[in-house]
Amino acid sequence: MSSDQASDLRRQGIAAAKANHKDQARQLLQQAIRLDPSNEAGWLWLASVAASARERRFALEKLLELNPTHDTARKALAAMEGEGTAPPAASATPPAAPGIKRLSSMGPSPEAAPDPTTAPPAPERSAPQVAARAAAPRAVDPRAGDPRTADPMKQPPGIPLPSADAITEAQRQAEALIFDYNAPLPADTRWVHKTRGRAGERAIVVLRLYIAAAVAGVLTILAVGGVVAVQTNDDIRGIVLGPSLTPTPSPTITPTPTPGLTATPSPTPGLTLTPSATVPINLPRADQFNLPGPTDVYPPILERPLLNAALALDEGNFQVALPTLQAERAQLVRFNPNPYYYEALALLQRGDPEEALNLLDEAESRLDETPNENNAPLVNAGYAEVFWYQAQEAREAGANASASQFIAEMRERAEAAIDGDPRIARPYILLARASRQQNDFDEALRILSQGLEVDALEANTQLIIERGETFFERGEYDLASYQGFLALYIDPTIEEAYQLRYRAAIAEGNPGQAVLHAQDYLFYYPGSTLAFWLLGDAHLAEGSPELALAAFNRGLAGDVEDEPTVDMLVARGQIYTDQARHDLARADFTEALNRASALDLARAPAIRALRMQAAYNDGRFQIALDDAELLIGTDVIPASTIQLIRARSIVDQEFPEGDRALLTDAVGVLNDVTDPDQRAIADEYTARAQFALGNNAAALNAIDSALNDAETGGRRFLRGQILEAQRRIDDAIREYEWVLAWSRVYPFSFRLDAEERLVALTADS
């Protein structure tokens, strides 16, 4: 690395010397010699730009030390001797002891080293001039032996040492060189900005020319390509050369024009800034890089098996939790209400409220074992859960009196739990739900606000979500969405909050905002089938079936067995039905029906009805017939619709000859259709069935009734067939001609058949 740097400095110094910049050349060459003192070219060019004769002599002598046979250096020294340049006098300072060199501490005497700033400058010569004048031989001091020619055998034994005169001369020369190097530049030195002939300037100019040529070439190619594109492409030519619309102010009814270019100009912007929600000061904000953990269970559970069972209950896995809870309760030595409370919840999930009540009675009887501990509130909370469960069962069964009694007992136990320990959140929720069932929303909000005023519950997301549900049921969707926002402000992983905000946006008629809420939901739960279902449903609500289809495809890629998957299959099948892709719709409805049956969902009959219609549209008439048979007697769709699809499936099938029973049955079913919207279709299929049975008169009456409702190509073609069978040739020809005339507009699948029949009838007539 140092040799490369010395070479660069040496080249720069030589270039400066050639340009007659001696001071700059001398500095660059001196730096190069420090890095590479064995380079002959550096010493030679340094001699050519030396500031004094002494410095030139020193450089030439160093060159001869490196190469004693260097002719140019020898001739230059000889020329200097010929001009009478005498060597400087010896220093008056006594020589230092042999082997000791203290050059930095020894200053030159006035006789040995005159001030270089006052000495007259030596004549400037270039390297060729110095070489040309080096003709005289070098003068050698006869008093000092030449260390290069001295006979080593004549020196005293031991380590060879230079003479005192040689050391003094070396010190003098080194000190003079150092003094010259450290001497400041003359004050009258003028620096001139060079504008041409600078080092490396030619290479830069060439590089710039290359770059300019490349840019010009690229621009030329683009220009030629643009011209060719405009000449060969009509669309591009229209954009570039065609006229453009100039917006003009719309006329208004105001006396003076208002600014703007819209249909109703107004200075008010079309979009206003959305105000940011106000957040209570006491609510903690979640850190998106360090999300909060699960909500702490209260009262706290210290036993690890019991905590795992409580978490399993929270996920609905009572089968896993119940054995653990029973074992923990059996191992109790000292009364603890936690196993009783959570086992009662597990029994409720299993659907056994009576057993849960017996368990809580046992817990209440053991409260006296721990008189100094506040265990009664949790037991009362368990009673409230059981009574609420029984009230809902009685309400579903229509036993309103029993439901009211259970609600009263639930209120008593829940209020007792709150009075005993206001930090238990569940009693507030039960009381609020009971008030909501009675449409007493103000009381429900009061109870929830009471719970949120407790210091330990001020950031309880369950109470906040319940408050949002209350606002939603009261129709205040903006406040409901705000409660969801507060819950997500505390913890962005609350799924119920995303669902609440989504439902509020849909209820407000703002599907675009619902899309954003569903996308936020997917950000934290990227694999949630419910989130994908909400996203697709929001796209459907905003009229974007293609985006909805993409969302459903992504959600169904995981092949998860849950209810949102069934919903996505049904929704995707309905999109396929609207797009007339009946085979895909039937496949989706079939898969949804299988999964709904496996999950024991009550929606299975409704999905079967959709599959029946898709199968009929797909031409799978036997599947449609089977589904129709299974749907008879259900209230999923009207019975007349089921019978109509059943009859149409019978008529549209290709039956063997002589199989008249099914057609006769279909005619009977079609005659029973009373729905005015379906009567015309029933008449058309009645005509087809009667025509297949050979009852041409009845078939003609039925098709005429259908044509009175609406004319279609299929009905006119069927009427022509019936008339042809009755040998009413002229009337049949007119029907076929009508079909062929309209076939130029509508692609009737039976056009060729009608054309062949028309040709045959025309030839016969």
Domains of the chain: 1-87+123-139+163-183 (1.25.40.10), 306-537 (1.25.40.10), 561-631 (1.25.40.10)
Q: Cα–Cα distance between 324 and 322 in angstroms, integer?
A: 5
Q: Is the peptide bond preceding residue 87 cis, with omega within 30 degrees of 0?
A: no
Q: Using DSSP, state whether 287 is helix, strand or coil.
A: strand
Q: Quickly state the pLDDT bin for 41 (edges 50, 70, 90).
A: confident
Q: Cα–Cα distance between 148 and 151 in angstroms, integer?
A: 9
- Range of weakest confidence among 328-342, 404-418, 461-475, 512-526: 328-342
Of 440, 434, 490, 422, nearest in space to 462 by CA: 490
pLDDT score at 221: 96
Higher pLDDT, 601 or 405: 405
pLDDT, tens only, 648-674:
888 887 655 546 777 887 888 888 777
| pLDDT at position 252 over 80 | no
Q: Using DSSP, state whether 274 is helix, strand or coil.
A: coil
pLDDT, tens only, 663-718:
887 888 888 777 788 888 988 889 988 888 888 999 999 999 999 988 899 999 99
pTM above 0.75, yes or no: no
Q: Quickly state the pLDDT bin for 637 (edges 50, 70, 90).
A: confident
Higher pLDDT, 130 or 152: 152
Q: How far is CA 570 from CA 519, 550, 618, 634, in A?
A: 21, 14, 16, 20
pLDDT score at 275: 64
pLDDT score at 198: 78
Quick one: tokens of 37? 């003192």
Give, rounded to a whole angstrom, the gap between the first and last alpha carbons of the chain. 111
| pLDDT at position 412 over 90 | yes
Is 8 in contact with 28 (CB distance < 8 Å)?
no
Q: Using DSSP, state whether 290 is helix, strand or coil.
A: strand
Among residues of the chain, what percentage have pLDDT more than 90? 45
pLDDT score at 137: 41
| pLDDT at position 627 over 80 | yes
Is 48 in contact with 127 (CB distance < 8 Å)?
yes
Q: How far is CA 495 from the centre of its chain?
A: 20
pLDDT, tens only, 220-236:
999 999 999 988 988 88
Q: Quickly state the pLDDT bin for 268 (edges 50, 70, 90).
A: low
pLDDT score at 473: 95
Per-chain mean pLDDT for the chain: 83
Is 486 in contact with 310 (CB distance < 8 Å)?
no
Q: Quickly state the pLDDT bin for 82 (edges 50, 70, 90).
A: confident
pLDDT, tens only, 550-583:
999 999 998 888 999 999 999 999 999 999 999 9
Helices (H) and strands (E) in the chain, counts: 34, 0
Is 663 in contact with 699 (CB distance < 8 Å)?
no
Q: Quickly state the pLDDT bin for 410 (edges 50, 70, 90).
A: very high
Quick one: tokens of 358? 């017996």
pLDDT score at 160: 64
| pLDDT at position 133 over 50 | no
pLDDT score at 282: 82
Task: Give Cβ neighbours of residue 282 (< 8 Å, ≥ 6 apart).
Answer: 458, 459
| pLDDT at position 537 over 50 | yes
| pLDDT at position 644 over 90 | no
| pLDDT at position 479 over 60 | yes
pLDDT, tens only, 190-231:
777 777 777 888 889 899 999 999 999 999 999 999 999 988
Quick one: tokens of 605? 């009959």
The secondary structure of residue 110, as a DSSP letter, is T
pLDDT score at 88: 42
Q: Specify the amino acid at residue 558.
A: G
Q: State mean pLDDT over 276-280.
A: 77
Q: Cα–Cα distance between 406 and 60 in angstroms, integer?
A: 120
pLDDT, tens only, 304-331:
888 889 888 888 888 989 999 999 888 8
Q: Specify the amino acid at residue 279.
A: V
| pLDDT at position 115 over 50 | no
| pLDDT at position 158 over 90 | no
pLDDT score at 251: 60
pLDDT, tens only, 165-181:
888 888 888 888 887 78
pLDDT score at 405: 94
Higher pLDDT, 242 or 721: 721
Q: Quickly state the pLDDT bin for 379 (edges 50, 70, 90).
A: very high
Note the residue count of the chain.
765
Q: Averaging pLDDT over each range in 14-18, 39-43, 429-433, which range is the top one? A: 429-433
Element (H, E) at 351: none
| pLDDT at position 274 over 80 | no
Of 594, 625, 589, 584, nearest in space to 607 by CA: 589
Q: Averaging pLDDT over each range in 23-32, 45-54, 210-219, which range is the top one? A: 210-219
